[in-house]
């Protein structure tokens, strides 16, 4: 593995995004590697729960690697999406996010795609995509308004508002806040609790909840979102080029609105 570390702890798979030099931002090669890891996790009958975290104590994941994108590299993502999870529908085994620092953009979307979020006190979350001419199309625009009150979700989405771990817990998308440095340990405790139940019961329960919240409709919208008129206009606009370019050049973007 070049971009992540994988460790098996009996029935638990611990996956660590390992790009600390870029705050664990992910690019297509990293996403393909993580997708393969979660493919194997889903197929392994001896692994019942996965925990996903980031290397170091500063970042869970800073989202899309904008410098990699601004350099003109191929940005084709695997079918399973960011972190191998954001467009992975149908995985019945639980996945826990151990958020040990910032979770920005696609990093927040990866966490939202997990079943539980355990966050350290120093963690914070944001969807800053509009500030770089993009949109949170890795599930953030679909999952966040479903998990917290609409006005709170709109504040995070439209203003790029940063949300602390405590605020996330109050809103309801964080399960537990733990001391700095304890995100992984806290997530493993939750994994141990889950392992007290029958894995067959856990999978059946997760599958039923997915059906209750209409996962099929969420998946259909996820696949179709870039065909919607406003989103299509964004992805064909000058602003979408300008945002990552300005980020890479460390300057304020000059928006055209077209």
- Opening angle at CA 39, ends 148 and 215, nearest 5: 35
Residue in this structure with the two tokens 């928006």, named with its chain if needed: 255
Candidate from 16-30, 57-71, 147-161 with smallest mean pLDDT: 57-71
Of 125, 81, 80, the closest CA to residue 99 belongs to: 125
Better-predicted residue by pLDDT, 248 or 63: 63
Annotated active-site residue 109? The verdict is: yes
**Contact yes or no for 108/126 (Cβ under 8 A):** yes
Q: Which of 33, 129, 216, 236 is catalytic?
A: 129
pLDDT score for 254 = 87
pLDDT score for 221: 75
pLDDT digits (tens, 9 = 90+) for 75-87: 888 999 999 999 9
Q: How far apart are the first and last CA of the chain?
A: 41
Does residue 64 register a pLDDT over 80?
yes
pTM of the predicted structure, to 2 decimals: 0.87
pLDDT tens, residue by residue, 180-238: 999 999 999 999 999 999 999 999 999 888 877 776 677 777 788 778 787 778 878 88
Closest CA to 134 of 63, 77, 200, 203: 63
Characterize the bridge pairing of strands 59-61 and 102-104.
Answer: parallel
Q: What residue spans define the domains of the chain? A: 4-195
DSSP H helical ranges for 177-258 = 183-195, 199-212, 215-224, 229-235, 238-248
Residue 157's H or E segment, with its range, is: helix 150-159
Q: Across all residues in the chain, what is the average pLDDT?
A: 92
CA atoms within 13 A on the CB side of 86: 30
**For the domain 4-195, what is the CATH superfamily, name and number?**
2-enoyl-CoA Hydratase; Chain A, domain 1 (3.90.226.10)
pLDDT for the residue 36 = 98
User: Which pLDDT score is estimated for 216?
Assistant: 66
The pLDDT tens digits for 136-191 are: 999 999 999 999 999 999 999 999 999 999 999 999 999 999 999 999 999 999 99
Catalytic member of 33, 109, 167, 219: 109
DSSP conformational letter for 76: P
Contact between residue 147 and residue 204 where contact means Cβ atoms under 8 Å apart: no
């Amino acid at each position: 593995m070049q971009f992540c570390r994988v460790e098996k702890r009996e029935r638990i798979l611990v996956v660590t995004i390992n790009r600390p030099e870029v705050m664990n931002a992910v690019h297509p090669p990293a996403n393909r590697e993580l997708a393969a890891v979660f493919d194997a996790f889903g197929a392994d009958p001896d692994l019942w729960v996965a925990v996903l975290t980031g290397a170091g104590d500063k970042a869970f994941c800073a989202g899309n690697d904008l410098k990699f994108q601004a350099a003109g590299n191929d940005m084709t993502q695997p079918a399973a999406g960011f972190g191998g999870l954001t467009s992975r529908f149908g995985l019945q085994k639980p996945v826990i996010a151990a958020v040990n620092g910032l979770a920005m953009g696609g990093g927040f979307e990866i966490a939202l795609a997990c079943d539980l979020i355990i966050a350290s006190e120093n963690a914070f979350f944001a969807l800053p995509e509009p500030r770089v001419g993009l949109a949170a199309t890795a599930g953030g625009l679909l999952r966040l308004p479903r998990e917290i009150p609409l006005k709170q979700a709109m504040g995070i989405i439209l203003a790029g508002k940063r949300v602390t771990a405590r605020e996330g817990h109050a809103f309801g998308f964080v399960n537990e806040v733990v001391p700095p440095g304890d995100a992984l340990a806290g997530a493993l405790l939750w994994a141990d609790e889950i392992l007290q139940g029958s894995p067959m019961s856990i999978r059946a329960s997760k599958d039923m909840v997915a059906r209750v919240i209409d996962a099929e409709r969420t998946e259909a919208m996820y696949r179709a979102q870039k065909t919607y008129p406003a989103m299509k206009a964004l992805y064909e606009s000058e602003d979408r080029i300008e945002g990552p370019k300005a980020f890479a050049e460390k300057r304020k973007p000059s928006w055209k609105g077209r």
